[in-house]
Amino acid sequence: MDPHPLSSDISPRLHTFRLPTEYQYLSSIPYSRPDLLFLLLHGYGMNAQTMLSLTLPFLPESAAIASIQAPNQFYLGETPANSKIGYNWGTRAHGDASIALHHAMIRSVSAEMRAHCEVPPSRTILIGFSQPVGFNYRFAATFPKEIGGVIGICGGVPKDWETGNYGQVEASLLHIARDEDEFFPASVTADYARKLRTRARDVEFHSLPGGHRFPSKGKPILRTWLQRTFGLTSAADEQP
């Protein structure tokens, strides 16, 4: 009997293909014309609604907001039937594809929101918690004309930041770390300001007490940075 044409001595080949896919984001737009646009990116296992709820108290009421849900979904518990669903931005196994998809999603949402709100790229700000922080820094170094600011919270600087094929960052960068972060320890984040300044002129770094959680006491830092970098248009926006 003749062997099957796909016998075991022939190594399988990996193929890729693309299909149209829908992604989601939540938006909040003020009645008056907004003067800033914030793009929010949640952490691993979270979702767009959680990130919006965490971030909303920190932001000016005059701003437009889009909270983007990560493209990859998974069950958070061991039993799928009774488990909540979380979302993530990618894994090491498909790093390049995950970065490309992140960039495409940011460009698509920001273009749609800017067209609706008439906010320029120079007043568009990325805010990421945990996993997407490094993705956002890469975006700012890849598309310097498309973003005005990046806020990284409890996240990392890309490992190839100093050696990779990136350009200079025109956006202002604010990084907030935690001194007891179990994923990004203080011994590592202590060098982040120096690393970020190798590609960006305007870098502000803070380390707050606590572990890997959204910093509830970070509001004065964020508001002061917004005041310095972009200005706030009303007295209500300037209140801590």
In a domain, 239, yes or no: no
Position 31: which residue type?
Answer: Y
The CATH number of the domain holding residue 55 is: 3.40.50.1820
In a domain, 235, yes or no: no
- Determine the pLDDT at residue 50: 97
Coil, helix or strand at residue 154: coil
- Give percent of the chain above pLDDT 70: 93
Which uninterrupted H or E stretch holds 85? strand 85-88
- Determine the pLDDT at residue 98: 95
In a domain, 94, yes or no: yes
Condensed to tens digits (0 to 9), the pLDDT of residues 16-62 reads 888 889 999 999 999 899 999 999 999 999 999 999 999 999 999 99
Q: Is the pTM of this model over 0.85?
A: yes
In a domain, 65, yes or no: yes
In a domain, 112, yes or no: yes
Instruction: Count other C-beta atoms under 10 Å from residue 223's C-beta.
Output: 18
**How many domains would you assign to the chain?**
1
Q: What is the mean pLDDT of residues 195-201?
A: 98
Residue range of the domain that includes 90: 34-230
Block residue for tokens 């004065």: 220
DSSP 7-74: -TTS--------------EEEE--SSPPS-EEEEE--TTB-HHHHHHHHGGGS-TT-EEEEEPPSEEE
Calculate ∠ Cα 161-197-69, nearest 5°: 55
Among 16-20, 97-101, 171-175, 177-181, the range scoring the smallest mean pLDDT is 16-20
Alpha carbon 227 to its chain centroid, in Å, reads 21
